[in-house]
């Protein structure tokens, strides 16, 4: 079989952990990207029984397998329309992703980086200052980034505060993020009273705010849902502003359905119940 036979369908490579229960990371990205008619090819950074928000979990780190795993893709001559990265657990994993981009990111490959580093104004316990600096180097290679407000502050060395963020402050954050290199940026989950907002930046300098009424409580995996839709839409040629609105609405639908069904917060969002509405 000719190598080109493997590249007849649009493909996105997603680099993230595989978590068996809790609906996050690859367990979310694979069905959503597939629903949007793109082949999802995944690189596991770790395998977990359930995510780390539970009191206990099993974790098998796949860092040592990364190069052997992706070397087989090189042998197959795989090419990708998109590459999307999520949570990375160490400095070494960030460096391995950079190597992956060197090998597989072609001229027309859309690179999306979701810089999963923290929330509520705090870095995750696994993130050192050195890892944050490494993540900045990865962000510089992205076409699209989808940080939450905390991560936007970490990436730009901006002090985080719990009060209402003024538009001037948010625009300055976007400006600093754009200086790192990404053409398109969306800062997600900005609290605005009874709303949650997303603030998007486009390569031509436009800024757009979209808001949704808050529903339920924040759940694991919603960022993964959002990023998967944005990555797939970018490969499918959907305008960025339309994609951000779609992703925001779909996340809200997922949360509403989860509340309706009484799904525990730890169990993520019941996106399967509303997946047919995504197109």
The full set of domain ranges for the chain reads 3-270
**Separation of alpha carbons 206 and 220, rounded Å:** 30
What's the confidence (pLDDT) of residue 181? 95
Q: In what order do the strands lie in the sheet with 82-85?
A: 59-61, 39-50, 11-21, 82-85, 110-113, 144-145, 184-192, 195-201, 207-213
Class level of CATH domain 3-270: alpha beta
> What pLDDT digit, counting tens, does each position of 25-48 carry?
999 999 999 999 999 999 999 999
Per-residue pLDDT of the chain (279 residues; tens, 9 = 90+): 454 689 999 999 999 999 999 999 999 999 999 999 999 999 999 999 999 989 999 999 999 999 999 999 999 999 999 999 999 989 999 999 999 999 999 999 999 999 999 998 999 888 889 999 999 999 999 999 999 999 999 999 999 998 889 999 999 999 999 999 999 999 998 988 888 899 999 888 889 998 888 887 778 899 999 999 999 999 999 999 999 999 999 999 999 999 999 999 999 999 999 999 999
Task: List the structure tokens of 192.
Answer: 């605005």
**Separation of alpha carbons 99 and 88, rounded Å:** 14
Q: Within a 10 A sphere around the Cβ of 182, how many other Cβ atoms?
A: 22
Q: Within a 10 A sphere around the Cβ of 29, how many other Cβ atoms?
A: 28
Nearest to 257 by CA among 272, 247, 237: 272
Report the chain's terminal Cα–Cα distance, integer Å. 33
What's the confidence (pLDDT) of residue 112? 98
What's the confidence (pLDDT) of residue 264? 96
**Separation of alpha carbons 149 and 135, rounded Å:** 16
**Chain center to CA of 241:** 17
**Separation of alpha carbons 207 and 199, rounded Å:** 7
**Separation of alpha carbons 189 and 209, rounded Å:** 11
Phi, psi for residue 112 in degrees, rounded to 5: -115, 130
What's the confidence (pLDDT) of residue 217? 77
Task: List the structure tokens of 276.
Answer: 């047919």
């Amino acid at each position: 079989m000719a190598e080109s036979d493997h590249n007849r369908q649009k493909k996105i490579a997603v680099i993230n952990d595989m978590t068996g229960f809790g609906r996050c990371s690859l367990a979310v990205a694979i069905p959503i990207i597939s629903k949007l008619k793109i082949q999802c090819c995944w690189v596991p950074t770790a395998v977990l029984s359930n995510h780390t928000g539970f009191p206990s979990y099993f974790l098998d780190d796949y860092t040592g397998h990364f190069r052997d795993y992706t070397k087989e893709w090189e042998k197959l001559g795989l090419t990708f329309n998109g590459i999307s990265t999520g949570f990375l657990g160490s400095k070494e994993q960030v460096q391995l992703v950079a190597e992956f981009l060197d090998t597989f990111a072609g001229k027309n490959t859309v690179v999306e980086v979701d810089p999963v580093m923290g929330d509520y104004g705090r870095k995750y316990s696994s993130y050192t200052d050195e890892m944050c600096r490494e993540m900045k180097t990865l962000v510089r290679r992205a076409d699209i980034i989808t940080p939450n407000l905390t991560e936007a502050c970490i990436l730009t060395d901006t002090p985080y505060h719990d009060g209402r963020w003024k538009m001037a402050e948010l625009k300055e954050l976007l400006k600093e993020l754009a200086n790192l290199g990404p053409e398109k940026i969306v800062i997600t989950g900005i609290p605005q009273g009874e709303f949650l907002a997303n603030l998007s930046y486009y390569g031509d300098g436009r800024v757009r705010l979209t808001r949704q009424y808050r529903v339920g409580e924040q759940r694991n995996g919603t960022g993964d849902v959002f990023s998967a839709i944005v990555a797939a839409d970018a490969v499918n040629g959907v305008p960025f502003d339309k994609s951000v609105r779609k992703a925001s609405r779909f996340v809200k639908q997922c949360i509403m359905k989860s509340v309706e069904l009484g799904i525990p917060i730890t169990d993520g969002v019941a996106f399967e119940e509303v997946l047919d509405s995504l197109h």
